[in-house]
Structure 1
Amino acid sequence: MRIIKKLLLAGLLFYIPCQTMAWGMLGHRIVAQIADGYLTKKARRQIMSILGNESLAMSANWPDFIKSDPSYNYLSPWHYINFKEGLSEQQVHDYLAKDTATDIYTKLNFVISELKNKSLEQDKKVLYLRVLIHLVGDAHQPMHTGRPDDLGGNRVNVLWFNQPANLHSVWDEKLIEYQELSYTEYVKAINFTSKEQRKEWQGQSIGQWLYESYTISNKLYEEIKEPNQKLSYRYNFDHVQTVNDRLLKGGVRLAGVLNDIFK
């Protein structure tokens, strides 16, 4: 009985981070590092007054690291939103317009609103800024808008180069790690945007970010035809550009949000 209890506890501890981690440490740092390069001087000064010498890239993974403290368990559902399959763009936006659940959409809007409050306590500024940096990255990971019945792809079992994995973990970490670049090398490899692109991306709503991710996730589900489908070189070839696009848009949009908050 003791052994069974230990196994159940271990399974629970493994399950919680799987549901809430997006991009893994590397991906979140890439998004944050891209954003850092597009900050205004005023935004940079105000962010430094909150985080001190902690860079955006180092702040980016705090909401995953803090899972070691049970008092922060309430943050877990902030990292994602689950949509049923087959929704149109209008249906997604209609759902979000009425959304009152605890999810990435409502909580992104919440922390942005809070950080615009000039009288917000310093400890909450630190918390909400770290959370914001992380959640903007999460919003651009397609499987964080996945289906509720399979926990955003966590129950879609696949083989990644013949090793057991699931669709969610492939998009969290495995595709990015397969490129074998540090986060700074990765940023140098993909961070090419025009002023027009940045203006367009930063002008789009959080709902649009999530709809983009949802559209991609639907295609990813369609590609999995059988349990334990083998994914390897071809899957990387077909999808690495999508990964890079999501990381890049996430970083540019994060900068736009931060520049707007701290203008």
Structure 2
Amino acid sequence: MQIKKIIPFAFVIVALSLVSWGVVAHRSIGKIAENHLTPRAKIAVTNLLGAETMPLVSTYADDVRSAKEFSYTAPWHYVNLKQGLNYEQYVEALKADTGANVYNALLKMEKQLRDKNSSKADQVFALKFIIHLVGDLHQPFHVGRGEDKGGNDIKVKFRGRDTNMHSLWDSGLVEYNGFSFTEMATAFDNVSDDKIKKWQSDEVTVWLFESYQIATKLYAEAEESSDFDYTYYPNHSEIYKERMQKAGIRLAGFLNKIYQ
């Protein structure tokens, strides 16, 4: 009986680790964003979330996805377009894709949050998803290839342990240094004012294309060698750090613009 109980639990843990930035990453992004809200945006967010905070609701979209009534949101966490596109081609393909994906979901939730006729419950739902989706689209393998499920099917070793590319970039690298989300947010929230201004002025399509370009590079590295030793983390830590910084700073800018 014990074995039957343990196996499904372990399966759930593994499954969750494959679908999104890990809890530490999402909460760190939420905390960085919270630090950069304007007073007006901070009041609006607090009015919607009440006793909850941006870091704590940052995983809501993953938490509810397994529920039958929210199964339609599963494709909202990623977008897969063919490789080898330049920016103009990528934007054209992205905007031509009218299906459910992270780009269209973010725009939909933005519209719902801005709609003064939306109920408070609908606005809370939209806000929680925006907080999560901005984080997701900054994770390179959420903007990867459909044929390998965003790197999930690419098996690799990281410091001698079996994993896959998606899981490695979701949580393996993020959790490597053992930071809590508050420690990570404190360590990463040191971006210059010039960078903040630039990052917040970028279009959402730029955010996605950056992830797309990084994923392309990471795919090529994995094809060259799938056995990542102790050098992988120091060689890539600045990439994931900047993705998280950009996600937090841009999330704040996104909400500041809505509530300006």
TM-score range, shorter chain: over 0.9
Give the TM-score taking structure 2 as reference length. Answer: 0.92
| Alignment pair present for 1:174 and 2:172 | yes
> Do the aligned partners of residues 13 and 189 (structure 1) sit closer, same or farther apart at CA in structure 2, a change above 3 Å counting?
closer
Deviations 1:58-100 (A, max 9, x none): 0101111113422111111000001222111111011122221
Per-residue deviation, 1:232: 3.2
The answer to which of 117-126 and 131-140 deviates more is 117-126
Cα separation, 1, equivalents of 2:80 and 2:208? 10
Give the TM-score taking structure 1 as reference length. Answer: 0.91
Paired residues for 1:177-216 under 5 Å: 177-216=175-214
| Alignment pair present for 1:223 and 2:221 | yes
Structure 1 residue matching 2:80: 3-state secondary structure:
coil
- The answer on whether the counterparts of 1:29 and 1:58 sit within 8 Å (CA) in structure 2 is yes
Cα separation, 2, equivalents of 1:123 and 1:219? 41
Structure 2 residue matching 1:225: 3-state secondary structure:
helix
Cα separation, 1, equivalents of 2:29 and 2:13? 25
- Give unmatched runs, 5+ long, in structure 2: 1-6
1:50 corresponds to which of 48, 55, 58: 48
- The answer on whether the counterparts of 2:17 and 2:171 sit within 8 Å (CA) in structure 1 is no
Cα separation, 1, equivalents of 2:13 and 2:181? 25
Cα separation, 2, equivalents of 1:126 and 1:161? 41
Deviations 1:183-216 (A, max 9, x none): 1111111211222211111111111000000000
What's 2:257 paired with? 260
Whichever residue aligns with residue 248 of structure 2, its letter is G
Give the fraction of aligned pairs with identical amino acids, expressed as a percent: 35
Structure 2 residue matching 1:177: 3-state secondary structure:
coil
| Alignment pair present for 1:250 and 2:220 | no
Deviations 1:139-197 (A, max 9, x none): 10000011011010000001122222100000000000001111111111121122221
What's 2:149 paired with? 151
> Do the aligned partners of residues 41 and 169 (structure 1) sit closer, same or farther apart at CA in structure 2, a change above 3 Å counting?
same
Cα separation, 2, equivalents of 1:57 and 1:14? 20
- The answer on whether the counterparts of 2:144 and 2:215 sit within 8 Å (CA) in structure 1 is yes
> Do the aligned partners of residues 15 and 93 (structure 1) sit closer, same or farther apart at CA in structure 2, a change above 3 Å counting?
farther
Cα separation, 2, equivalents of 1:13 and 1:247? 25
What's 1:97 paired with? 95
- Give unmatched runs, 5+ long, in structure 1: 1-6
Structure 2 residue matching 1:181: 3-state secondary structure:
coil
> Stretches of 4+ moved more than 2 A in 1?
9-19
Cα separation, 1, equivalents of 2:207 and 2:67? 30
